A and B are shown apart, each in its own frame.
Chain A
Amino acid sequence: MGNKNKFSDFRVTARIDQVGIGDRIARIRSRSIKKEAKLQGLKMILNMIDLTTLEGADTTGKVQQLCNKAKFLHASNPELPTVAAVCVYPNFVSQAKKELEKTRIKVASVATAFPAGQSSMEVKIKDTKLAVDGGADEVDMVISRGRFHQGEYSYVYDEIAAVKEACGKARLKVILETGELGSLDKVRRASDIAIYAGADFIKTSTGKIKPAATLPVTCVMLEAIRDYFYETGSMVGMKPAGGISNAKLALQYLMLVKETLGNGWLSNEWFRYGASSLANDVLMQIEKQRTGIYQSKDYFSKD
């Protein structure tokens, strides 16, 4: 990942055509996917979900419940795929790891003083180590937005690189918290910094700030990934998170990925949704396709 020389000045990253992005998203929104393609898309979405609980009130019981939901999405339809991962705070990682033994479901953990990221480098590295030592397969870090706004791009870059090193074998997702960045230009700049610093995934939001993931922001980030791929031939993953709560919207994200990056990204190795309530909505849609009857939340387990 030593591309630092190639891209030494992040002040001159690509500028974003806001109106163009708006138009493109409006076109995506006006389309709809039907029947078999829809069913295939819905199953793909299920398999791309990072089932998430990141609350102050999380307990071991809640985490156990979440892991069970990840393993058995809907008991009456055992043919469904599982979700990609569960995402928890570092102190629940070892528990989640144990609950998900012998499954292919990964454990992701947030780290680096999530969600604000306002702490020293040492604390952040320790936080990351806590998650990795607990057995986390993936680490979701937050960037220092304050430093970013102060123009200290090198600091942000170095921090990501240091956390990446602390991750070892675990894959690193870098949360830009786009709701706090302000403009699409800055989203693009933060994306470039994260990608060049060694992110395996870039992720929109923590879910704690509104707006969280939106289609325009995701589009900009996908373009950053695409440009990097053209430049270097290396793939970087994408994870929109927060605010994606229904299947229709999730399908629109899928369209956007397919049309920006291509089929190569259409697996949970390269694309994820960070969500807690999306899974049930997708399940309800799948059941609707199967039975022809509109479904109710009452008949689906809460995670």
Chain B
Amino acid sequence: MDRVEILKTYKIYIGGAFPRTESGRYYVPVHGNKQLGNICLSSRKDFRNAVVAARSACGKWSGKSAANRSQVMYRIAEILEGRKSQFVQELQFQGSTKSKAEQEVHASIDRLIYYAGWCDKFSQVFSSVNPVASAHFNFTAPEPMGVISICAPEDSGLLGLVDAVAPVLAGGNTCVALASEGMPLCAITFAEVLNASDVPGGTVNILTGKRTELLEHMASHMDVNGFLYCGSDEEEIRKVQSLAVENLKRVSISTSEKLLSSERQNPYCIEDFVEMKTTWHPIEIISGSGSGY
């Protein structure tokens, strides 16, 4: 007798667990005449819960040593490598060709490795020792910004999300990402990869649903410190920028046109989501030895 295949339920990822949306709603993304599945239509309360999870994970993630963060990100790439075929299948199911899908998965793994490498290096590059005219040792170093809202690109199911999340993580931030509305499958499967990769629960939270519903809350939430918008809808961008003013969120806009290019592998993507802290440290005899800080 033929086996009846078990269909996978795609749920959302909050605080290291896979709950259904609290709203109980779902939507059915369609590709061609194919239904992709019943996908959680997340509500603003799911977003709120995810921000609470992300906030409480802040200490755990940013408190890790940079080298350890690097190892954990490398681990994500390892696990993704091991589950390549599943992602390729899902991408094909969502309308990609086999070679395009493979290319996308490989690029995603490489991007994770790239940013894993930067975890314990970007701080040296972006820090500075500043000349000042008083008896102070004055230096500037980056610190994680905190909780970042991410609107992942609409037209790339996996690479778009990885490309957005990796630099944010490398900087020591936690995030709440909204997956592509039309191609959400890989995002949730990627959440399973994260869950198996020593990433503390709550560090990355992934929601599925409609941008039109959630964008406003993602941009206005007072406990979110930064916003990464992927896309080019002028109206949405204006909306995000004006709502972000309330608590002076950093807003970064990323157009997803060149996702596969090496331009997207760039430490300045990490710099977008760090805060620079300058410290004035009193020193004793500055001129005695003729030293000049």
Contact = CB atoms under 8 A, between A and B. Distances in A.
B247 interface: yes
Contact of A297 (B217, B220, B223): B223
Interface string B32-61: 000000000000000010010000000000
A293 B223 contact: no
Interface string B47-88: 010010000000000000000000000000000000000000
A176 B197 CA distance: 45
Report the contact-size class of chain B (Cβ under 8 Å from the partner).
under 10
Report the contact-size class of chain A (Cβ under 8 Å from the partner).
under 10
B246 A293 contact: yes
A295 B217 CA distance: 11
A294 B223 contact: yes
Interface in B205-254: 217, 220-223, 246-247
A283 to B, nearest CB: 12
A230 interface: no
A296 interface: yes
A292 B217 CA distance: 9
Q: Name, among B217, B222, B246, the residue most crowded by chain A CB atoms within 10 Å (CB to CB).
A: B222
Contacts of A299: 222, 247
A298 interface: yes
Interface string A1-40: 0000000000000000000000000000000000000000
A33 B223 CA distance: 23
Contacts of A293: 220-222, 246
A33 to B, nearest CB: 14
A294 B223 CA distance: 7
B223 A298 contact: yes
- Chain A residues touching B, majority SS: loop
B80 to A, nearest CB: 32
Interface string A271-288: 000000000000000000
Interface in A248-303: 292-299
Nearest to A246: B52
A178 to B, nearest CB: 27
Interface string A160-182: 00000000000000000000000
A198 to B, nearest CB: 43
A53 B247 CA distance: 30
Contacts of B220: 292-294
A123 to B, nearest CB: 41
A294 B246 contact: no
Nearest to A295: B222
Nearest to A292: B220
A182 B217 CA distance: 44
A62 B9 CA distance: 51
A244 to B, nearest CB: 17
Contacts of B246: 293
A295 B48 CA distance: 10
Contacts of B217: 294
Q: Name, among A295, A296, A297, A299, the residue most crowded by chain B CB atoms within 10 Å (CB to CB).
A: A296
A109 B84 CA distance: 63
Contacts of B223: 294-298
A293 B223 CA distance: 10
A294 B48 CA distance: 8
Contacts of A298: 222-223, 247
A74 to B, nearest CB: 14
Contacts of A294: 48, 51, 217, 220-223
Contacts of B247: 296, 298-299
Contacts of A292: 220
Contacts of B48: 294
A14 B217 CA distance: 50
Nearest to B223: A296
Q: Name, among A293, A297, A298, A299, the residue most crowded by chain B CB atoms within 10 Å (CB to CB).
A: A293
Contacts of A297: 223
A264 B63 CA distance: 50
A298 B222 CA distance: 9
A55 to B, nearest CB: 21
Given A293-B246, A297-B223, 14 more contacts: A292-B220, A293-B221, A293-B222, A294-B48, A294-B217, A294-B221, A294-B222, A294-B223, A295-B223, A296-B221, A296-B222, A298-B222, A298-B223, A299-B222
24 contacts: A292-B220, A293-B220, A293-B221, A293-B222, A293-B246, A294-B48, A294-B51, A294-B217, A294-B220, A294-B221, A294-B222, A294-B223, A295-B222, A295-B223, A296-B221, A296-B222, A296-B223, A296-B247, A297-B223, A298-B222, A298-B223, A298-B247, A299-B222, A299-B247
Interface of B: 48, 51, 217, 220-223, 246-247
Question: 4 tightest CB-CB pairs across the interface, nearest first?
Answer: A296-B223, A296-B222, A294-B221, A293-B220
